[in-house]
Structure 1
Amino acid sequence: MKRLVVFTLLRVVDGLVKLAMPRVETHRLLLVPGIEPLRWRLGRWRAWRTMERAARSVPAYRAFLREHGQGRRLDTRNGVEAAFARLPEMDKESYVKRWSIAERCLGGRLPRRGVVVDESSGSSGVPTSWVRGPDERQATRQLLQLGFARTSAELPHPPFVLNAFSLGAWATGMNVTASLTESTMIKSIGPDPDKIIQTMREFGTGFTYVILSYPPFLKGLFEDDRLDWSQYTIVAAFGGEGISENMRGHILEYARAVLGSYGASDLEINLGIETEFTVALRRAIADDPDLAARLTRQQEYGVLPMIFQFNPFGYLIETNDAGELVVTIARAENISPRIRYNIHDRGHVTRMRDVLPVLREKGLSAVVAEKFLDLPLLFHYGRSDLSVDYNGAVVAPDALRDVLQGDPALLQAVENHRLIAFEDAAGDRQLHIALQLSAHAGDLDTGPWRDVVVSGLRRLNLDFSNAIRTAAPATLPTVAFYAHRTGPFARDGAKLKNEYVWQLGPGEVDQHDLDLGWTAPREA
């Protein structure tokens, strides 16, 4: 009876949502403050219905559940969340790569019309195709337009979006262009600084340029002195990876706002967004260790989390025992459902009702005043499968990023970084911290900066600090700075995304011309 009542109610709600979808102004009503508990509950019910529909109609998911001894219906007597926790997690290896695209679709087939195919490169660089039907593309479009509508309403000049994400079949650039074409003027350029500068010169200073790209590209773009950036009004929006607050501050020297989006090609490109509130909260956490301890797992993971807000009506986001995010897209219309999909990112969700009392207790009224959405918060600590192990400690490239971007000199001088784990000729596991200097780094005396980098990592990650103290002398981490596009960075730019972690096998070290001459001191 409960299932019948819930699913009937959801049909009514879905009908109202579809009526709202054509207009951003109407869709905005779905995010009004004060109905957060309703959104939270409806989202869980929608995920329940979507799971049971997939269990009936998707051949791959039906087989996947059968393998794990799970039936097609959820036992929700102890609540939907408890029932979902008993379902198996899926990911690329356990699900996507084992069944064909058609077998992962509703009815076991691809629709003949209305399907868009895009790609993700992943950390391996091997593309994976993802199929998206018209309903899910419409939902993504409305969320992007809604966020853009709020931003553009506060701009002093008409907005002109310059999409500098990688184009072609890649998910982000492709979907951003499709989503924003209806609501603004947009030019899809790709990560090409020459064309961006040429476009801005051509159209002049009468627009607010909303430049979308990855953080390293934005930094390099604004450091290009061919344009007097102070003459232009700019908003920077980023995705694809995190950013340090020091890097945000650096970009804010050129842009009036710097906000990020969280998504994954495996799921959707815009699961969550940074807001003025989340940025203010993140800065407060960075300044207050006690606040960080109460709201985050920063001490455990050794990195300041990115913080986003997301709509629980559309997504059920859990955290498993390994601290990884497990996401269910609640929307029933997706032609290729994702039920408890593990994207191997570390993170957790906290509802606004649990955060605001802590902020008020701390006297952070200025942070609270920035809140305009009561959507829950997603704390994101980076990839769980893109870290390296060192003598029992887990070292994440995000932590190295925060160290490098936390010092103005390193922020200016270092273009890219990489953690390289390998086995030496003696069979010992080694860690090499490789830092690529920018083409315009100038004469940086890199000697003292090696200590700065290691000390910064040890400060953020106590496990890493202890691992150094207990390491054998022959296995202490090594650090080296490399001239632009040399050593392990010689082939940078050949792939879509930066590579921040390498795991090298025996005998592969010499192929990359690693400089292993400096080792970290045992004591901090």
Structure 2
Amino acid sequence: MKKLIFAIVRAQDLAVRLLARRVSTHKLLLLPGIEPLRWRLGLWRALRTFEASARRVPAYREFLTSKGFPHELPDSGSLTKAFATIPEMDKDSYIRKWSITQRCVDGELPRRGVVVDESSGSSGNPTSWVRGPDERVATRVLLQVGFAQTSNRLPKQPFVLNAFSLGAWATGMNVTTSLADVTMIKSIGPDKDKIIATMREFGTDFTYIILSYPPFLKSLFDDERLDWSTYDIVAAFGGEGISENMRAHISRYAHSVFGSYGASDLEINFALETDFTVALRQEIARNPELARLLTRQHEYGVLPMIFQFNPYNYLIETNQAGELLVTITRKENLNPRIRYNIHDRGHVTRLRELLPILRRSGLGGIVDKKLLDFPLLFHYGRSDLSVDFNGAVVAPDTVRDVIFGSPELIETIENHRLISYEDDAGDRQLHIALQLKETGPEIDQDQVRELVFSELRRLNSDFDHAIVTSPTSALPSLACYSFRSGPFAEDGSKLKNEYVWQLAAGDDGRWALKTEHRARP
């Protein structure tokens, strides 16, 4: 059975290899009506990549042996069930235990064509990732196909302004190298002055596609030095999710606002928002029954981002903890990742499961927006960047949704942070720190505290119960801090915003946290 499957996979790999270097021919893989074939081939390719990695990657052989797992799957029974028994890996259990060379195919780095980038280190020290020439070609074509779907509908010549952080970080450099052949692009980095100067210099004859992280995009469009209404703008974001209120805020300046999902650990872009997923997310946000049917919003307390992905290239599962396991099915990757746990929460729904629910709910208008018959990825944010409070789990994404769900707060709050620390009595405390904008209206901290805590309690029933049952001394606190002061004094020195701090005993005094502003039942 497996011999026949792998022969089929080798044949289609050869066909795709001949076609995939051109965007126009690669679009054949996106044709509607072949979703079951994509899904099946993706599983087969993942099986092939697993067994090839078990044979040829020294670190992976040792990893499987340490787990007592065979280097081949059985040749009978359900292949889906067999694949689900493969041990999952993550940064701690695999990446940090073996060297980069040991994690490479055949245990060696090619002498030429390898590009090294690094992750931001938001969950620890930055990690280097090596990408070989075949892998980079595959990534480039996928980005170009996604870009072509957007740019072909634009009213003017596209001009990409890459405002992701540049240098060795994965997103900025890969976006530039991938799109340079198919569009006009300027790699600026997150520099508002240079973006505004560039747009003034080139004028209004272009559609500017501005790529960056959500907080930077919002900060950019809040800059009044440019009359944004005279420019045609598309905003594309990555790195973190947004609330629908924040999308509406950015949409005042950009006629389209779309996000992508990726990770330096895997690839910078393997799932995208589409017209369909944005419309569906907005309907879920205002329809509690639909949210109950399709999401785990009540459990996690946050509205999920919704993306579509190609199962031919990525096999995405959910483990018992609700975390995503991603397998890159292609064999071109220099460092294969098999059932890699990036510690994000989420789940996958295929369209054949979703569409009947939408039709029964009278949402045919959303169905009409379906452009790609790709499965949907519901993403709830990082599983390991939440804070425990008296048995409740509080996520920074939930605080984000509260901030951007309020017209008052969205105009005054620059950033937020959950700070968990141990006080002098040995009790674990939760402090919500809000950074004010550099220039903004005056605020009433008592009103802000009441608004934020009431919304958090409404969105998260466990948090509501935790507050009711907590003694006064253990109630969570909230305070607003001036721009770049207190716990935000060093903001701007790192690539990405930090939304969670877990502090050791005694560390809370370092920033003079204003913990007198506590929640009340």
> The TM-score by the shorter chain falls in which range?
over 0.9
Equivalent residue for 2:315? Answer: 316
| Aligned counterparts, 1:27-46, within 5 A | 27-46=26-45
Map 1:452-463; keep pairs closer than 5 Å.
452-463=451-462
Q: How does 1:172-251 map to 2 (within 5 A)?
A: 172-251=171-250
**Corresponding position of 1:290:** 289
**2:164, 2:211 within 8 Å by CA — same for their partners in 1?**
yes
- What is the identity, as a one-letter code, of the residue corresponding to 1:288? N
Per-residue deviation, 1:4: 1.0
Q: Match of 2:44, as an amino acid?
A: W
The amino acid that maps onto 1:112 is R
The 5-angstrom pairing of residues 359-370 of structure 1 reads 359-370=358-369
DSSP-derived class of the 2:209 partner: strand
Aligned partners of 1:457 and 1:140: how far apart in 2?
39
Aligned match of 1:144? 143
Aligned to 1:414: 413
Whole-Å separation in 2 of the counterparts to 1:231 and 1:155 = 16
- Confirm or deny: 8 A CA contact 2:88 2:339 kept in the other structure: yes
Mapped partners of 2:299, 2:290: distance in 1? 14
Contact 1:90–1:339 at 8 Å: present in 2 too? yes
The Cα shift of 1:446 comes to 2.5
* Superposition deviation, residue 196 in structure 1: 0.2
Measure how far apart 1:499 and its partner are.
Answer: 0.4
Question: 1:77 and 1:466 mapped to 2: Cα distance?
Answer: 49
CA distance in 2, matches of 1:63, 1:468: 47
Q: Give the alignment of 1:97-496 within 5 angstroms.
A: 97-496=96-495
Deviations 1:169-219 (A, max 9, x none): 000001000110010000000000000000000100000000000000000
SS in 2 for 1:202: helix
Q: Give the partner amino acid of 1:314.
A: N
How far apart are residue 288 of structure 1 and its match? 0.6
Which secondary structure state, in structure 2, belongs to the residue aligned with residue 104 of structure 1?
A: coil
Is 1:518 the counterpart of 2:512 in the alignment?
A: no
How far off is 1:73 after superposition? 0.3
Q: Supply the distance in 2 between the matched residues of 1:43 and 1:69 (Cα, whole angstroms).
A: 26
Q: Displacement of 1:136 after TM fit? A: 1.5
The Cα shift of 1:407 comes to: 0.6
Which deviates the most, 90-99 or 122-131? Answer: 122-131
1:273–1:309 Cα contact (<8 Å) kept:
yes
Which residue identity does 2:228 align to in structure 1?
W
Question: Gapped runs of 5+ residues in structure 2?
Answer: none
The CA deviation string for residues 324-379 of structure 1, in whole angstroms up to 9 with x for no partner, is 00011100111100011000000000001111111111111111111010000000
Deviations 1:458-504 (A, max 9, x none): 11111111011111211000010111011100110111110000001
| Sequence identity (%) | 67
Aligned residues: 521
- The Cα of 1:447 is off from its aligned counterpart by 2.0
Shift of 1:25: 1.3
**Cα distance in structure 2, aligned partners of 1:394 and 1:320:** 19
Give the Å deviation of 1:442.
Answer: 2.4
Amino acid at match of 1:350: T
Alpha-carbon displacement from aligned partner over 1:380-430 (angstroms, at most 9, x marks no partner) = 000000000000011000000000000111111101000000100001110
Stretch deviating more after TM superposition (61-70 or 73-82): 73-82
Evaluate the alpha carbon distance shift between residue 183 and residue 464 of structure 1 in structure 2; reply closer, same or farther with a 3 A threshold: same
Q: C-alpha distance in 2, partners of 1:492/1:505?
A: 20
Q: CA deviation at 1:133?
A: 1.0
Q: Which amino acid aligns with 1:122?
A: G
Report if aligned partners of 1:76, 1:83 keep a CA contact under 8 Å in 2. Answer: no
1:9-20 paired onto structure 2 within 5 Å: 9-20=8-19
Q: Counterparts of 1:269 and 1:480 in 2: how far apart (Å)?
A: 35
SS in structure 2 opposite 1:430?
Answer: strand
Range with bigger deviation, 76-85 or 302-311: 76-85
Q: Deviation at 1:22?
A: 2.0
In the TM superposition, residue 125 of structure 1 has moved relative to its aligned partner by: 4.8
Cα shift at 1:518: 1.0
Distance 2:471 2:445 in 1: 25
Amino acid of the residue matched to residue 177 of structure 1?
T
CA distance in 1, matches of 2:343, 2:124: 16
Cα separation, 1, equivalents of 2:310 and 2:135 = 15
DSSP-derived class of the 1:103 partner: coil
Tell me the secondary structure at the aligned position of residue 37 of structure 1.
helix
Deviation at 1:76, TM superposition (A): 5.1
Q: Deviations 1:147-171 (Å, cap 9, x if unpaired)?
A: 1111111111100000000000000
The alpha carbon displacement at 1:318 in A equals: 0.6
Task: Return the alpha-carbon distance in structure 2 between the equivalents of residues 256 and 29 of structure 1.
Answer: 29
CA distance in 1, matches of 2:145, 2:265: 22
Structure 1 unaligned segments of length 5 or more: list them: none
